[in-house]
Amino acid sequence: MKRRLERILAAWSARNREFVRDRSAMAWNFLFPILVVVGFAYAFSGGEQSLFKVGVLLPADRTLEQLRPTEPFLTTPQIQWVAIPGTEEPQARRQVARHGYDLLWSSSRYWVNPTSPKGQIVEKLLLASTPALPREPIQGEPIRYVDWLISGLLAMNMMFSALFGVGYTIVRYRKTGVLKRLKATPLTAAEFLIAQMASRLVLLVSVSTIVYAGSHALIRFRMQGSYLDLAVVLVLGALCLIALGLLVAARISSEEFAGGLLNLLSWPMIFLSGVWFSLDGAHPWVRAVAQVFPLTHVIDAARAIMTEGATLAQVSPQLWTLGALTAVFVALGAWSFRWE
């Protein structure tokens, strides 16, 4: 066991040194995410979007289009309508509290945040067409876009570093014969993979900490929950994404093919995992597809902790999913791994 740990430590240490020496990769990993966060913070600091956003709680088996002929408010122009299944009322109400929706409408009542200026305007529009609809006020401070975005950017950066930093590196090692050379030593495949995962995990935790601290110093985003809880989510998310990188790199020896495959995985995750925009109101199949991606669960959990102050117990569904996905990726990756 001692020898095994020494071998893992040797491989772990060599990989860390390699990363530190590769100045361009270092700069990319540390500076790029900070620049993105700061860039977006400034880009969206000039005011809110002009469009109003209203959530519509749908009764069972009804669509927004079916409601419109009998509900004149739902035909108001200049409003972005988000259809929400009735079962998701609690989440939708939280969005009203955080100014995500300017108003939440159902056929029997509506919810509005009295501290939201846009909510008050939309409420006036509503009362003009349906004056008798019961009102339920919801209190809560607004969430700026950057508060909402920061968890997505942290997770997205982790995803790129995990997939390309691990997947691409292993494929390059295989192509250039480094893996073949290592195969001839007492280092086992499991030891090699553990060393790679551990090295990248340490890197990701370091990078995420620096990016978080650097971005926070510059733009003071919201952090409602526990730092420890956030760390647990990010570590588990990092492990899951690294394991996905290992799975991709398990057999491939062409860097071009690996690059294509990694892009094929990462781009849908960027658009469908809720990095840039919420999937609330998106077509059900889009939301179903998003649940397959580990990035969705990392972002959902991190965002709930950062913006809502959620606890680990409250994000346990995401944690369990990430744990299960990690186990599947590691098992498949180790089983299919080939040195050559």
129 is an interface residue for other proteins by CB under 8 A: no
207 is an interface residue for other proteins by CB under 8 A: no
**Torsion angles phi and psi, residue 54, rounded to 5:** -125, 130
- The Cα 69–Cα 83 span in angstroms is 16
DSSP calls for 11-63: HHHHHHHHHHH-HHHHHHHHHHHHHHHHHHHHHTTT---SSEEEEEEEPTT--
Contacts for 91 with CB less than 8 Å, ≥ 6 apart: 280
124 is an interface residue for other proteins by CB under 8 A: no
Contacts for 195 with CB less than 8 Å, ≥ 6 apart: 8, 9, 10, 11, 12, 15
187 is an interface residue for other proteins by CB under 8 A: yes
Name the 3-class secondary structure at 84: strand
Q: Find the shortest distance in angstroms from Cβ 312 to other proteins.
A: 37
Query: Which of 32, 64, 142, 183 lies at the binding interface for other proteins (CB under 8 A)?
Result: 183
254 is an interface residue for other proteins by CB under 8 A: no
13 is an interface residue for other proteins by CB under 8 A: yes
Give the binding range for other proteins (CB under 8 A) out of 15-23, 196-204, 216-224, 284-292.
15-23
Give the binding range for other proteins (CB under 8 A) out of 35-43, 135-143, 176-184, 228-236.
176-184
- For other proteins, the binding residues in 142-171 under the rule CB under 8 A are none
Q: Find the shortest distance in angstroms from Cβ 24 to other proteins.
A: 11
Query: 293-321: string of b/e by CB count within 10 Å (b at 16+)?
Result: bbbbbbbbbbbbbbbbebebeebeebbeb
User: Which of 68, 183 has the CB closer to other proteins?
Assistant: 183
Residue matched to tokens 């999937």: 279
DSSP calls for 91-120: HHHHHHHTTSSSEEE-SS-EEE-TT-HHHH
User: Which of 131, 186 has the CB closer to other proteins?
Assistant: 186
6 is an interface residue for other proteins by CB under 8 A: yes
181 is an interface residue for other proteins by CB under 8 A: yes
Give the binding range for other proteins (CB under 8 A) out of 16-24, 89-97, 156-164, 260-268.
16-24
Measure CA of the first residue to CA of the last residue in the chain; give whole Å. Answer: 26
The two beta strands, 103-105 and 110-112, are antiparallel
Supply 267's token pair.
Answer: 């781009």
Query: Which of 64, 133, 178, 219 lies at the binding interface for other proteins (CB under 8 A)?
Result: 178
User: Which of 3, 124 has the CB closer to other proteins?
Assistant: 3
Is 211:154 a contact under the CB 8 Å cutoff? yes
User: Which of 19, 271 has the CB closer to other proteins?
Assistant: 19
User: Which of 143, 258 has the CB closer to other proteins?
Assistant: 258
Sites of contact with other proteins (CB under 8 A):
3, 6-7, 9-11, 13-15, 17-18, 21-22, 173, 176-178, 180-187, 340
